[in-house]
Structure 1
Amino acid sequence: MILAAAVTTNLVSLHMTGHGHGPKLAYVVLPTYLVAAWNLGAYHLPTLRSRLASVRSCLASLATAASFSLLAALAFSVIGSFSSRQTAFFLGLTAVGLTVFHWSVAAGLRRREHQTETKVILLGDDSVRSNRQRNVATTINVRARDWRPVEMDPNFLNDLSLAVADADRIVLSFRAFKEQQKWAKLLGELGFETELLEPGLAGLKPLALRYLDSTPTLVVSTGPLTLHKRALKRGFDLMLVLLAAPIIVPLIAVLSVLVRADSPGPAFFVQKRIGTNNRYFNCIKFRTMRVDLTDAAGNHLTERNDPRITRLGHFLRHTSLDELPQLWNVFMGQMSLVGPRPHALGASAEGALYWEVVPDYWHRHSMKPGLTGLAQIRGYRGPTEKKCDIESRVAADIEYIHTWSLWLDVKILFRTLRVLVHSNAF
C-alpha cells in the first residue's frame, strides 16, 4: 500500500505538473513503517483479527514512520527539497490505503476464525485419553499406532512428520519421563518445536527456564522488582535523604533534647518489626510514651487520649514527627521512603494477629517497608479496631507492590505532605 501510494502520487504529479518526481519521503517511510509495525504488534494475529486494533496499530506505525522520516530529513538539511503538497498527498493516500487494507484483512480473518486458531496436537501414551477435554485439535496415542521414538525407520519418521505437520504447537504427555524425553529429542531433531505437559506444575506457573550447571531449572517465582528497579529506588531514597539531611539532622537533635526534657528516659524508642522478606529489623522512632508503660511488642495499639503517651508525644504523633528517626533506617537500607508500613509483631485486629486475619499478609513484605505508603495517603492510619482496617491496608500495600514505579513514589511522597497531620494519628 505504501508503494502503491508512492506510485499514485508520482502519476498525479506527472499529470498535474508534467514532471514525474515520486515522493522522496517514501524511501524512508517504507522500511521505518515495517520496523514500527513489527514492534507495535501490527502483525500479531490477535491484532489482525480486530478491525479497530488493526487499523489503530497500522496508523500509529505510519505516524511513527512519518515523524521519524521528517525529523531525519530536517536533521540532514534535505527537508527543503520535499514538496509539502506532494508529501501530504502521499501520507494521506497511504493512511487511507493501509486503513482499507487492514480493515479488509481483519474482516477476512474473522470470517475464517476457525482456520486461524492455534492448532495444538497432543502426542503421548494412553494418558492422552484423560486429556481429551483440553483445547486441542488432535490427540495422537503412540500406543494405539504402535510408534516408538527410534530414528532407524524412515517410513515411521515420514508418518510422524505428516501427522504433526500442520501443528502450531506439539505438546507431549507421557507418564514415564524417560519416554517423554526420547520423544522430545526425536521431534527436536526433526525440526519441530515441542512442549512438555507437566500437570504437577499447574499451580506453580513457571516463569522462565534457567540452568544449574547443565541441569535445567524452572523459575516459579521472582521478586517484585528487578535489580535495575531496586537500584533506581535505592538511589532515589539516598538522594532525598542526603538532600534533606542538613535540615532533618538539626531538627532531630532539637526534638531529641525536648523528648528527654519532657519525661524521663531515652529520646528514641527502638522496636523489633517485620521488614523485607519477613526479616526482623530494629525500627527507630522518637519515644512518645512513658518508659514504664512502653509496649515493646506492640500488643496494645495506641488509642485516642491514650494515658501512656506523654505531652510532647501527643504532638509528635499528631504531626507524624515521631517517624523522623526512621530516616536512619532508610539510610541503612532497612527501609525505603515509600513502601508498606512496618508492623509490630504483636499488632492485632479484633483480637487476631494481622497474619491470621489476612491470608496474603506476608506478601506485603516482599518489598522494603516505608516511611509512608499508598495505604497512608488513602487515610488508612491509626488503630486497627476492625478486621477490615488491616484488610484495607494490606490490599493497598499489595496494590503498590504490583504497580510500583518511581513516579508512583514521587506522587505518594507529595500526597503524604497533605496527610502528615491526620485525625487518626495518635
Structure 2
Amino acid sequence: MPGDAARPHQASLPPAPRNGLVPSLERRRLQAYLLFVAMDGFILLASFSAIAAAYLGPGGDFAGVRQGAEPAFLLLPLFLTIALYNGTYSRAGLTDWRQAGAKAIAALAISAALLNFFAFFAKMNAEFSRVVFTAGIVLTGAVIVAMRRFLARRLTARWGRGAVNRLVIQAGGPKFSLPDSIHIDAREHGLRPDRADPASLNRLSQYLRNMDQIVVSSSRENRAAWAEVLKGTGLHGEVIDEATRAIGAVGVVKHDDIGMSSLLVSNGHLGLRARAMKRVFDLTISLAALIALSPVMMLTAAAIKLQDGGPIFFRQRRMGRGNGFFAIYKFRSMREDDSDGARSASRDDERITPVGRFIRRTSIDELPQLINVVKGDMSLVGPRPHALGSRAGEKLFWQVDRKYWQRHGLRPGITGLAQVRGFRGATDTEGDLSSRLDADLEYLNGWSLMRDVRILLRTVTVLVHERAF
C-alpha cells in the first residue's frame, strides 16, 4: 500500500479543513476580470469624450462633443472582443502589468485598424475627426497601461505574484520554501496517496479545496502514486523529480526561486471560462427541469410512500470531483439500503420493489440528482459517480485500472458519454468497467459545451434500457 510513512495514529491528526485551508481566489479573480473590462470600457469612452471636448474648445456644444466621441462607441465592442481572445483578461495579466498592458495595446491597435477598414468601405471616414480618433487611441492606451500598473501592484501585494492559491506538500522529498505558497507536512496531517483507500483520498481532497496549484515533494518510491492521485484532482499538479517515463509528466515547471524543477503531472481539465459556461448551463437546464418534471417527481414520491411507508429518497456516499465524498440523491427503489453499493442490482433482485423496478427501468429514480446539480455536487454531464463498494467481477473498481481515479477530474454527471454509448447497469466483468473508464477519460480530455448538449439529447433515447434492473 503506498504511503510516504506509516499511517499516523488517527487520534493525533488535526481535523481536515472543512472549507479548505484558505478562501478561494477563483471568484475574486473573476471579479477582477469584470472590473478590468468595465474599467477599460470606461477609459476608452472617457478618453475619446475628453479629447473631443478639448479639440472643440470651450465653445463646443454637446452635440459636437458627442459626434467627436462617436467612434469610441463603435470601437468598444471590437476592442473588448479582441481583448477577451488575446489574453488581456488572463490570470497572468492580473499581476504582470507589462504583459497585460502589451496585450491591451495590441487589442486597441487591431480594433482601431478594423474600424478604419470597415469605415472606409462604409464611406464613414469623412465623419470621423482624425485628430480626435488618433489622440483618443493614444490617451486610452496610456491610461489603460497606467491603471494596469497601479492595480497589478495592489493585487500582487494581496494575492502574491501568481494570484493563485498554491499548496506545497512535503511528503518525504527535498525540503524547500516556495514563495507565495502554503506549506504543510504530509505526515503531520495524515495525507497519503493511497489509491486503495477512498477515505484517504477524501481527506486529501479537503486540503486541496480552493487550491489552484499543488506541488508535492515526495520520496522516490511514492512519486508515481502521488502523480496518479494528482491526475484525479482536476488541478494543476506537480511532483518534484527528474523526468521519468513512469510518472507520465506532461511538462516541466522551473521554480527559479528555489533552484528546482518539477514535473507537471496534471492540468485542470477546464479553464475558468469553460467552467463558468458549464456551470451556467447546468443551473439553467436543471432548474428548468426541476420545474417541468415536478409533477412526475411528486407522483413518484407518493407511489413510493404509499407502497410500504418507507423513506422517499435514498442517499448514498459517492466519490466526486477531486476524489471528495458527497451524498447522492435518488428515489428509493429497494427495500434495503446498501450504503457502499457492494452488491450491484441484478435482473431478479429481491430487494427491488415493484415501484422501484419501474422507476429504475425508466431512469425516473435518477431525477433527484438534479438537486445535486443545483447544489454543485454534480453536473448534468460527466463521469457517473460510483458507489465506494462497486465491483467489476471480483475486484473493486479502482483495483481494475490504476487510471480509475483520473475520472474524478470533473464534477460527476447525471449522464455521460459512457451511458449514451450503452455502458450502463451491472459490471459483471472487468471489461464492463474498462469500457466505461475509457469513455469517461475521453470525455474529460475533449470537453466542449456542444458535446454536453449532444450527450443530453442522446440521453433521451436511452432513458429506458434493458440493463436497468
Counterpart position of 1:413? 456
SS where residue 346 of structure 1 aligns? coil
Amino acid aligned to 1:228: R
Task: Identify if the C-alpha distance between structure 1 residues 367 and 289 changes in structure 2 by more than 3 Å, giving closer, same or farther.
Answer: same
Counterpart position of 1:224? 269
Task: Identify if the C-alpha distance between structure 1 residues 215 and 373 changes in structure 2 by more than 3 Å, giving closer, same or farther.
Answer: same
Query: How far off is 1:206 after superposition?
Result: 5.9
Distance 2:364 2:124 in 1: 59
Counterpart position of 2:383? 340
Query: How far off is 1:413 after superposition?
Result: 0.2
SS where residue 317 of structure 2 aligns? strand
Counterpart position of 1:288? 333
Counterpart position of 2:297? 252
Task: Identify if the C-alpha distance between structure 1 residues 329 and 72 changes in structure 2 by more than 3 Å, giving closer, same or farther.
Answer: same
Counterpart position of 1:235? 280
Distance 1:216 1:228 in 2: 31
1:201 to 237, 243, 249: 243
Contact kept, 8 Å, 1:374 with 1:400, in 2: the verdict is: yes
- After superposition, the C-alpha distances for 1:291-345 in whole angstroms (9 at most, x for unaligned) are xx32221111000121110001011000000000000000000000000000001
CA RMSD after TM alignment: 2.8
Task: Identify if the C-alpha distance between structure 1 residues 354 and 77 changes in structure 2 by more than 3 Å, giving closer, same or farther.
Answer: same
Amino acid aligned to 2:312: A
**Structure 2 residue 446 is matched with structure 1 residue 403:** yes
Q: Which runs of 5 or more structure 1 residues have no equivalent in the other structure?
A: 1-38, 40-66, 79-197
Distance 1:341 1:199 in 2: 33
**Structure 2 residue 349 is matched with structure 1 residue 306:** yes
SS where residue 291 of structure 2 aligns? helix
- After superposition, the C-alpha distances for 1:356-392 in whole angstroms (9 at most, x for unaligned) are 0112100001111000000000000110001100000
Distance 1:230 1:219 in 2: 25
Counterpart position of 1:326? 369
Task: Identify if the C-alpha distance between structure 1 residues 330 and 212 changes in structure 2 by more than 3 Å, giving closer, same or farther.
Answer: farther
Counterpart position of 2:307? 262
SS where residue 389 of structure 1 aligns? helix
Distance 1:397 1:276 in 2: 13
Counterpart position of 2:429? 386
Query: How far off is 1:242 after superposition?
Result: 2.0
- State the identity as a percent: 45
Task: Identify if the C-alpha distance between structure 1 residues 215 and 73 changes in structure 2 by more than 3 Å, giving closer, same or farther.
Answer: same
Distance 1:354 1:199 in 2: 29
Query: How far off is 1:210 after superposition?
Result: 7.5
Of 226-235 and 393-402, the range deviating more from structure 2: 226-235
Distance 2:262 2:271 in 1: 18
| Relative contact order higher in (CA < 8 Å, ≥ 6 apart) | 2
Query: How far off is 1:257 after superposition?
Result: 1.3
Task: Identify if the C-alpha distance between structure 1 residues 76 and 360 changes in structure 2 by more than 3 Å, giving closer, same or farther.
Answer: farther
Task: Identify if the C-alpha distance between structure 1 residues 76 and 318 changes in structure 2 by more than 3 Å, giving closer, same or farther.
Answer: farther
Aligned length: 240
Distance 2:468 2:325 in 1: 24
Amino acid aligned to 1:253: M
Distance 1:217 1:242 in 2: 46
Q: Which runs of 5 or more structure 2 residues have no equivalent in the other structure?
A: 1-85, 87-113, 126-239
Task: Identify if the C-alpha distance between structure 1 residues 206 and 348 changes in structure 2 by more than 3 Å, giving closer, same or farther.
Answer: closer
Tell me the TM-score normalized by structure 2: 0.47
Amino acid aligned to 1:201: A
